[in-house]
Amino acid sequence: MESAFANASAISDQRQKIEQYKHILSTVISSSDVVQAKKFIDHLLSDDVPLVVSRQLLQTFAQELGRWEPETQKEIAHYALSQIRVVSFEEQLMIIREKLAELYESEQQWSKAAQMLSGINLDSGTRAVDDTFKLSKCVQIARLYLEDDDAVNAEAFIHKASFLITTIQHEVLTLEYKICYARFLDLKRRFLEAALRYYDFSQIEKRQIGDQEIDEEALEQALSTAVTCTILAAAGPQRSRVLATLYKVNFFTRRCILCVLYFKFAHTLGFSFRMSDAQS
């Protein structure tokens, strides 16, 4: 490996140098050797490799991370994150973080995925980051934290997204933000506010927004959650008005309200029920 590095480093033509390093990288990936992968990273970050070359190769390296097995991928990616200087390789670090977040999300390690994405510098002074990208990341990070019922860490990204959402016309991101915000309010026990937002979502008439399909089950679930949140809210005129609005929507909603009220009332009396009892 050392001789391969020396040979590549000695090549004066930049294009040939890059091609030689790509060949070395391909060999490293095929071998699935973690030690060799770390040596490859160390060499690219050394003074033997010009910055313009190391940037291109680290970008290729980051894009190829998915070819390793998950645990190997994690070890190599975390090593790369610990060694690479943020200022010089922002784009490359972003790709590595996105790859790791995708892996953690596939394993349902929601908070780890969110933490990985939150390390991306969205206010970079060295590269252009448009507001749509910032909004998409804020919403994605908030959603991941909320999957773990972590409203505390989600709050900062919900807050950032709330400023960006007013200046961006993007239907899919707007919808995702609204869903995240409703869940956030729900977890913060701001039930009446959450109920209104769940209700708004349930009344969407479009069944296709961008490349996202809205199915009836999701809308019914939103209605059901709106009902539950309203009933959990503190009693008062506003709660009564929201309940009245929900009750008028359709038979499904009326049934939800009556069922939730029934079980809540029974619970206060100390009764316990099985589903078979309710069905009978």
DSSP assignment of 223-261, as one string? HHHHHHHHHHSPPSHHHHHHHHHHHTT-HHHHHHHHHHH
Q: How many domains does the chain have?
A: 2
> What are the φ/ψ torsions at residue 130 (nearest 5 degrees)?
-80, 165
Is residue 279 a part of any domain in this protein? yes
Is residue 48 a part of any domain in this protein? yes
Question: Domain of 71?
Answer: 1-84
From 84, 116, 145, the end of a domain falls on 84
What does pTM read for this prediction? Answer: 0.83
Is residue 111 a part of any domain in this protein? no
The span from the CA of 52 to the CA of 44, in Å, is 11
Q: What is residue 221's predicted lDDT score, i.e. its pLDDT?
A: 85
The span from the CA of 104 to the CA of 280, in Å, is 43
Is residue 201 a part of any domain in this protein? yes
For residue 90, give Cα distances in angstroms to 26, 122, 123, 224.
23, 10, 11, 44
Q: What is residue 271's predicted lDDT score, i.e. its pLDDT?
A: 42
Tokens of 67: 């070819």
Q: Would you call 22 exposed, middle or buried from its count of C-beta atoms within 10 A (0-12, 13-18, 19+)?
A: middle
Is residue 159 a part of any domain in this protein? no
Is residue 247 a part of any domain in this protein? yes
Question: Is residue 184 classed as helix, strand or coil in its secondary structure?
Answer: helix
Bridge partners for 207 per DSSP = none
**Apex 137 CA angle, 211 and 174, nearest 5:** 50
Q: What is residue 112's predicted lDDT score, i.e. its pLDDT?
A: 96
From 60, 84, 108, the end of a domain falls on 84
Q: What is residue 220's predicted lDDT score, i.e. its pLDDT?
A: 82
From 84, 100, 126, the end of a domain falls on 84
Q: What is residue 3's predicted lDDT score, i.e. its pLDDT?
A: 82
Q: Please list the pLDDT of the chain residue by residue as tens digits (280 residues).
A: 778 878 888 888 888 988 988 898 888 888 888 999 999 999 999 888 888 889 999 999 999 888 889 999 999 999 999 998 877 888 899 999 999 999 999 999 999 999 999 999 888 666 677 889 999 999 999 999 999 999 999 999 999 999 999 888 888 888 899 999 999 999 999 999 999 999 988 888 776 666 777 777 888 888 888 888 988 888 889 988 888 887 776 555 555 555 555 445 444 444 443 433 433 3
Is residue 9 a part of any domain in this protein? yes
Q: What is residue 266's predicted lDDT score, i.e. its pLDDT?
A: 46
The span from the CA of 211 to the CA of 237, in Å, is 40
Is residue 20 a part of any domain in this protein? yes
Q: What is residue 254's predicted lDDT score, i.e. its pLDDT?
A: 55
